A = this chain, B = another copy of it.
Amino acid sequence: MNRIALAAALVAATSVASAQQGPKPEDEIQYRQSVMTVIGRAMGPMGAMAQGKAPYSAAVAQKNAALIDTLLTLPWNSFGPGTESAAPNKAAPAIWKEPARFKQSAEAAQKAVANLVAVSRSGDEGKFKAAFGEAGKACKSCHDDFRTKEDHR
């Protein structure tokens, strides 16, 4: 291993170890929570525009919709066995009791966000607001069914 590869290995050490052994349940919880935190932040500027509290910007809509679209592909494999309670989290038991319904709900959110991406590219403010509303509704529906109000272990 040359020095550059060694430097990279040092940076990636934890993740590489995880990739080989399978991530620890607490790391899976931290990962899916992190993805959702970044998504939540990206919702902010779009929510403000949808509510007329910030002027509409097609660039802001496009950037944040695309970011959420990418991030929404990431968390679903991190709800594996043992990740129900390895660290404080809001994942509801229904995720593991009704996996098909959870998958359907997650996919509905991804579909709504894909539509938001397409609509954001059009630059039409009215269509953006409607599509953002639908995306928010899909997010909320999944949260209502599969997220607890408070952290649990």
Residues of A near any B CB (own CB < 8 A) = 1-2, 4-5, 7-16, 18-20, 30-31, 33-35, 37-38, 40-41, 43-48, 50-51, 53-54, 67, 70-71, 74, 129-130, 132-137, 139-140, 143
Contact = CB atoms under 8 A, between A and B. Distances in A.
Contacts of A16: 43-44, 47-48, 51, 53
Nearest to A129: B5
B47 A12 contact: yes
A5 B133 contact: yes
B15 A40 contact: yes
Contact of A8 (B10, B18, B20, B137): B137
A16 B14 CA distance: 34
Contacts of A18: 41, 44
A62 to B, nearest CB: 13
A30 B98 CA distance: 30
A63 B54 CA distance: 33
Contacts of A37: 30-31, 34
Q: Which 3 A-B pairs have the closest CB atoms?
A: A8-B136, A15-B44, A12-B47
Contacts of A74: 38
A12 B137 contact: no
Given A12-B47, A13-B47, 12 more contacts: A2-B133, A5-B51, A8-B47, A10-B140, A11-B137, A12-B40, A12-B44, A12-B46, A15-B43, A19-B54, A31-B38, A67-B70
